[in-house]
Chains A and B, each alone.
Chain A
Amino acid sequence: MPFSFRDHLDALNHGSPAGKPPLPPEVQADGAIPDDLVDHMLDGEVDPQRARELFGLIRRDREASKRFDATQGILRTLRASDNETECPDFSARVLARVASRSGLFSASGFRAMLAYRYAAAAAVLLAIGGVFVAQRLAPEAVRLTPQQTPVSRLVQSVPTETAGMFSGVRSVLTSLVGTVPSPAPSPLAVRRLCEMSDDHSGSICSRMNPPLSAILWTDDSPSQPRAVCKGRRCAEPNTRDAWVTAGNTYNGILLEDSDLSSRDSGVVFVSFGR
């Protein structure tokens, strides 16, 4: 059990027990009381019985008694000064500052706030309970999907459910498509001779439909935006071995790989519309 300093003083005030107590082992041979022992007592680390014994010993040692009384007097003044200090009332000032920053409730306001919280929680619980009961009593009334198929008929239910889901998604997408304007045609679109990335400068343009591979290339100078179709299978008439000029539309220019001359291999690239 904790033993406070005040308990010590109470114990000491009862005075030394009758008779001379035996000297504790810590007491020096000449009967002087070591300061450490007194400090332990003042720290409240000595039980009341032992404190009384020590007090009796201190009274026998004139110097120790003087020091002990002086220390006790100072500590008594220290405690008394605590009781004498007039403390202003901080409550109103502090609460006003706190209320202006975060909001405090008066007793009635706090009760109202608590009641509101409980009511909100009860309403949520009631709603959940209500849905549960309604599901039990009238399942049709609370059905969220238009048609539910028992699990036992899973095979039949899958296409139905999937179709329903997709039709829902489609309707949403349709409505979205209706609201989003279609993008304006890109000025580069008409210049494309086959599928390629937007930045097709220096890239190979090939096309597999019709299944013959098609390759267009220009010379290696990006400053001359033109391409040439070489070979026998250029589909467009009058474009065979002719320069293809950027800005014109050439549909289905085809070229077989075998038509490439050895001279042209390795420098095949396209640079249109730049």
Chain B
Amino acid sequence: MNRLEEQRVIELAAQGDRASADCLIRTHQASLYSYMVRLSGRPDLAEDIVQDAFVRVLMNLNRFDPRFRFSTWLFTIAKRLYVNAMQKHKPLYDSDVVGAAAGAGRSDPSAPSMALEERTHARECLDAALSGLNEEQRQIMLLFHQQEWPIAQIAAYMSMPEGTIKSHLHRGRKKMRRLYEEVEQGLEAEVEARL
């Protein structure tokens, strides 16, 4: 859906058209949920936040400023809800839960077990590396490399200059690579110790 089409859908949804509201949800739910799962590390929390974010957005569609991207607005509301939730509850990044959610329902029993094991191993390392980043770096890494947002959009979303976003991105990549390697080595050492 291009921005013009999306604008039309938003207008109709704001007037109360159920089909248009449904279209908006289906277009953005997967990316928002995936982002929230990776950000919070908790699929249950991510689910609540995504649901609340969509309700808030649909209740306030008449306030949407068409100069901005709808996804930026939606993600901003979700982030506020996430921050509120984090203030109420202690942050928990459970990589086992995230890994399970990421692979849930997708594991093909007929797939070679070696490939499946490699994927699980990579996901574990990834989750551990992500959890080692600070909040801003994690958000920026996810938005740029997972959601494929342009740097300008991330800058608008994070209320930061583009240069700062790039710095976070560069530092985040280096840190992730280091953490990933550390976790990988740790897991390998664990396997060898078992053998």
Residues of A within 8 A of B (CB): 2, 4-6, 35-36, 39, 42-43, 67, 70-71, 73-75, 77-82, 84-91, 93-95, 97-99, 101-107, 109-110, 113-114
Contacts and interface: CB of A to CB of B under 8 A. Distances in A.
A70 B180 contact: yes
B18 A107 contact: yes
B106 A84 contact: yes
Interface of B: 12, 15-19, 21-22, 25-26, 29-31, 33-34, 37-38, 47, 50-51, 54-55, 58-59, 101-106, 119, 122-123, 125-126, 129, 141-142, 144-148, 150-151, 166, 169-170, 173-174, 176-177, 180-181
A70 B59 contact: no
A39 to B, nearest CB: 5
B101 A105 contact: no
B34 A104 contact: no
A104 B21 contact: yes
Given A39-B169, A110-B16, A110-B18, A79 B145 contact: yes
B68 to A, nearest CB: 17
A90 B146 contact: no
10 contacts: A39-B166, A73-B122, A74-B176, A81-B34, A82-B146, A87-B33, A89-B29, A99-B18, A104-B21, A113-B16
Contacts of B59: 98, 101-102
A43 B25 contact: no
Interface residues of B, dominant DSSP: helix
A74 B18 contact: no
B26 A91 contact: yes
A33 to B, nearest CB: 14
Given A78-B146, A94-B25, A94-B54, 16 more contacts: A4-B148, A39-B169, A43-B170, A70-B180, A71-B177, A74-B180, A82-B146, A84-B103, A88-B47, A89-B26, A89-B29, A91-B22, A94-B21, A98-B55, A101-B59, A104-B21
Most buried by B among A6, A35, A67, A78: A78
Nearest to A76: B122
B173 A71 contact: yes
A104 B16 contact: yes
A90 B21 CA distance: 11
